[in-house]
């Protein structure tokens, strides 16, 4: 038998029309009017033969009236021959589908969680100290410079930690420690929400979670890290007793001042073992856990004592301290803070490590715990060969017999990236960092004065009065003098900066505006408007006097700068006026190798000085090194400036700063007190071109040896003079004054009415050059000297010559006036 109803057409003309269920009543065909008979020739509304099984059925579906015609639309009301589902049915179906999907996802999540939990391995607590060690490398990423977090750690069993100490930590960090499952769900949700909204990342973790984070994971505030922390904390809580977890936590936490673990902390802050800690002493240490540097009782006594009281109050609430004991509690005396040398190199590299840790905290927002005990791998920008060259240059020039009281600093920056490639702040790596010392820069700031003038249209060939011993309107009764009494009434600015004429540049600063010069220096160095830190200068205006005012003396270097600032500023000049922030960190990774910071390719910058201005400054500075007898090997082009600052006839600070396109280096020399004069082993005053210049020259020659020579600009781009120039000196001889001869004497040659010692008919006061120059090298013979002590003029460094230059009692040569 065929499977279809033989009384119905196999293929209906108006589309597939299925037979409705037998229980339904037959509907009428088309509405009133003449309707077209259904297929098969049956009359409209006629009775349909019963289907197999004896049931009758209608065609199901109502024909729609269209234009008076009962023609069916060709599309049934329901595609499957059923009535459309109600909204309630559709919603119920969607809910069932959603529930099925969610159930499937939940099942998959449960399987995933189970697999991850089963495969999660809890590291041994013995590996914690290794994981916490932060390693600092040179720029090659291989040579170690220092290891932090590797010392001052003494693990003790929980029984040797006083009960008040245990309870103080619990009160501060996790009161429900002994009853919680090792995790805080509210803390995890809060952390997730803060990640989404950018809110605070602090708080909410249990002691178990903190231990896991500090001991086994990185400090990144990310979902993946929180996920790892969750599983490790749960498994740790299941595999170890609460006492074991608390013991390990107390032995690994960082308390500041280089102390890792509560035993070291008790000794560092109170000079006692952890077993003897009182509740009051323990509360001091408990406060430090959250932020050791912010709550050190010596640096922030008010904040430390406020939180100390909250910890004691929490102990009272938990019944761990009586009300009477709380009322009688007095903040305990704490040992004074000392400079920790733990993990810090004792030599010059110690200053580099300090700058690296400071940069991690201030620029990249790592806290003290992360820096000192976070297991970071830090690759610095410091080149090992360049650093060795810096140390060698200082030691070779200032070694015996030079006075031990002299202090030196050297900072070298790559202008193309801002990377600090060498840094010397002193021989004692845990003592004063002289590269950060604020000292008067003297004439080494004159390039910034020149740059300010150039921006105002005053070219480097413009002439200004550089006569010695001048008074200025803003300095009545206090004349400005030049080093060695040098004088030039009408020098070009190029000549004046080469000869370092103070009167020229004091007057130029007055002319262009001292505040404008200050703006130029701030732009080039990146200095803020006020000094930070906690020393004497903290909060004071940068490049100003004690009243916050900047005078024309900025043009001769009266206001303090650091060697670091001068290296940064001259690097901006070397980079055609593009400022790139000097930095010490190239890359930071965690213990697993994940990159956290990467500055190795950073070369962006900001154009803070016009390129044509910097071009002309460089042109003007190209002859300074040669003039100061500090030319580089092979005649390599370099722009440089000396600087000397003194009080009366004594000098307190001496500088040599210079650059090529690939390196900018600042060298400073002075004493611990600016009031003390600096002299060499022979008792002579030290000038910038002297010992500092020798250090600079040796370093630059060493680091540039074997590198391609780089050209500096030769021609100025800014011409003319929009300022208060002076006329060029005349070279024409005035008419001679005839003197009649005595009648009985032969006639004598006429003589000019002006000084003319060489008899060339030119006034010696205006003749160029206006100084003795017998070898015609353009250098004042009175100041010319070799780049080393050479009192007997034999061309050999007196410091290395043996036997001595002169016999006892033999008078030495006359020493010419030194250069600035």
Residue positions annotated with a catalytic role: 173, 443
- Residues 6 or more apart from 322 whose CB is under 8 A from it? 316
3-class DSSP state of 147: strand
Residue position matching structure tokens 């099984």: 53
CA distances from 160 to 166, 189, 284 (A): 10, 36, 18
Rg (CA), the chain: 43
Q: Which residues pair with 667 in a beta bridge?
A: 410, 656
Pairing of strands 463-466, 585-589: unpaired
Question: Taking the mean position of all CA atoms in its chain, how far away is CA 120?
Answer: 37
- Residues 6 or more apart from 75 whose CB is under 8 A from it? 15
Dihedral sign computed on CA atoms, order 668, 671, 672, 675: negative
- Which tokens belong to 325? 């004991």
Q: How far apart are CA 387 and CA 603, in angstroms?
A: 22
Q: How far apart are CA 497 and CA 686, in angstroms?
A: 20
Pairing of strands 475-480, 134-137: unpaired
* E strands in 475-551: 475-480, 488-492
3-class DSSP state of 306: helix
Q: How far apart are CA 437 and CA 671, in angstroms?
A: 11
Burial of 153 (0-12, 13-18, 19+ CB in 10 A): buried
Please report which residue ranges of 120-241 form alpha helices under DSSP H.
128-132, 163-173, 185-197, 207-216, 223-239
Q: How far apart are CA 604 and CA 567, in angstroms?
A: 18
Nearest to 433 by CA among 353, 492, 544, 361: 353
Kind and range of the H or E run holding 651: strand 650-660
Nearest to 499 by CA among 689, 634, 646: 689
Residues in the chain: 820
């Amino acid at each position: 038998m065929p499977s279809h109803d033989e009384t119905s057409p196999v293929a209906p003309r108006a589309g597939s029309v299925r037979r409705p269920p037998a229980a339904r009543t037959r509907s009428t065909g088309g509405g009133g009017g003449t309707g077209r008979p259904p297929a098969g020739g049956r009359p409209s509304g006629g009775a349909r033969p019963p289907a197999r099984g004896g049931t009758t059925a209608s065609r199901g579906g109502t024909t729609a009236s269209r234009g008076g015609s009962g023609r069916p639309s060709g599309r049934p009301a329901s595609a499957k021959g059923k009535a459309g589902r109600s909204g309630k049915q559709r919603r119920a179906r969607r809910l069932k589908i959603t529930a099925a999907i969610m159930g499937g996802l939940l099942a998959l999540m449960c399987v995933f969680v189970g697999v991850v939990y089963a495969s999660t391995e809890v590291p041994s607590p013995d590996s914690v100290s290794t994981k916490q060690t932060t390693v600092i490398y040179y720029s090659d990423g291989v040579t170690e410079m220092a290891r932090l977090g590797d010392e001052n750690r003494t693990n003790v069993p929980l029984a040797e930690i006083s009960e008040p100490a245990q309870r103080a930590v619990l009160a501060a960090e996790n009161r429900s420690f002994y009853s919680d499952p090792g995790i805080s769900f509210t803390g995890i949700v809060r952390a997730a929400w803060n990640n989404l909204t950018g809110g605070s990342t602090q708080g909410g973790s249990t002691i178990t979670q903190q231990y896991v984070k500090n001991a086994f994971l990185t400090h990144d505030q990310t979902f993946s890290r929180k996920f790892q922390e969750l599983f490790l904390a749960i498994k740790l809580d299941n595999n170890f007793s609460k006492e074991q977890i608390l013991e390990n936590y107390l032995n690994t936490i960082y308390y500041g001042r280089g102390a890792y673990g509560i035993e070291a902390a008790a000794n560092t802050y109170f000079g006692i073992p952890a077993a003897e800690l009182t509740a009051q002493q323990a509360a001091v240490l408990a406060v430090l856990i959250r932020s050791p540097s912010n709550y050190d009782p010596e640096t922030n006594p008010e904040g430390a004592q406020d939180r100390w009281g909250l910890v004691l109050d929490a102990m009272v609430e938990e019944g761990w301290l009586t009300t009477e004991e709380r009322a009688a509690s007095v903040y305990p005396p704490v040992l004074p803070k000392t400079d920790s040398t733990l993990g810090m190199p004792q030599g010059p590299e110690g200053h580099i490590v300090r700058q690296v840790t400071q940069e991690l905290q201030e620029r990249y927002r790592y806290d003290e715990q992360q820096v000192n005990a976070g297991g970071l791998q830090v690759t610095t920008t410091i080149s090992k060969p360049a650093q060795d060259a810096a140390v060698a240059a200082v030691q070779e020039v200032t070694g015996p017999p030079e006075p031990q009281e002299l202090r030196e600093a050297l900072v070298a920056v790559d202008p193309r990236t801002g990377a600090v490639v060498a840094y010397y702040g002193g021989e004692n790596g845990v003592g004063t960092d002289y590269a950060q010392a604020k000292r008067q820069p003297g004439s080494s700031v004159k390039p910034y004065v020149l740059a300010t003038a150039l921006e105002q249209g005053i070219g480097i060939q413009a002439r200004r009065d550089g006569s010695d011993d001048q008074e200025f309107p803003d300095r009545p009764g206090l004349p400005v003098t030049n080093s060695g009494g040098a004088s030039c009434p009408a020098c070009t600015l190029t000549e004046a900066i080469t000869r370092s004429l103070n009167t020229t540049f004091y007057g130029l600063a007055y002319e262009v505006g001292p505040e404008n010069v200050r703006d130029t220096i701030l732009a080039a160095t990146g200095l803020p408007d006020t000094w930070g830190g906690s020393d004497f200068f903290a909060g004071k205006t940068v490049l100003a006097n004690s009243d916050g005012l900047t005078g024309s003396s900025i043009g001769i270097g009266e206001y303090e700068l650091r060697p670091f600032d001068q290296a940064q500023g001259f690097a901006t000049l070397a980079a055609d006026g593009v400022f790139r922030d000097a930095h010490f960190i190239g890359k930071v990774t965690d213990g697993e190798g994940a990159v956290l910071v990467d500055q190795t390719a950073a070369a962006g910058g900001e154009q803070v000085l016009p390129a044509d201005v910097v071009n002309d400054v460089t042109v003007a500075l190209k002859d300074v090194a040669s003039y100061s007898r500090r030319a580089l090997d092979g005649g390599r082009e370099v722009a440089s400036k000396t600087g000397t600052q003194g009080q009366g006839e004594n000098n307190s600070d001496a500088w040599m700063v210079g650059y090529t396109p690939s390196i900018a280096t600042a060298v400073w020399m002075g004493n611990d007190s600016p009031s003390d004069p600096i002299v060499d082993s022979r008792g002579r005053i030290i000038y910038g071109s002297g010992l500092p210049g020798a250090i600079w020259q040796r370093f630059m020659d060493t680091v540039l040896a074997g590198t391609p020579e780089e050209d500096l600009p030769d021609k100025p781009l800014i011409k003319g003079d929009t300022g208060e120039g002076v006329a060029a000196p005349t070279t024409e001889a005035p008419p001679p004054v005839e003197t009649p001869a005595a009648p009985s004497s032969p006639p004598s040659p006429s003589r000019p009415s002006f000084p003319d010692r060489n008899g060339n008919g030119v006034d010696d006061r205006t003749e160029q050059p206006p100084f003795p120059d017998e070898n015609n090298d353009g250098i004042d013979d009175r100041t010319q000297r070799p780049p080393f002590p050479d009192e007997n003029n034999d061309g050999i460094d007196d410091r290395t010559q043996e036997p001595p230059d002169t016999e006892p009692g033999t008078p030495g040569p006359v020493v010419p006036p030194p250069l600035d």
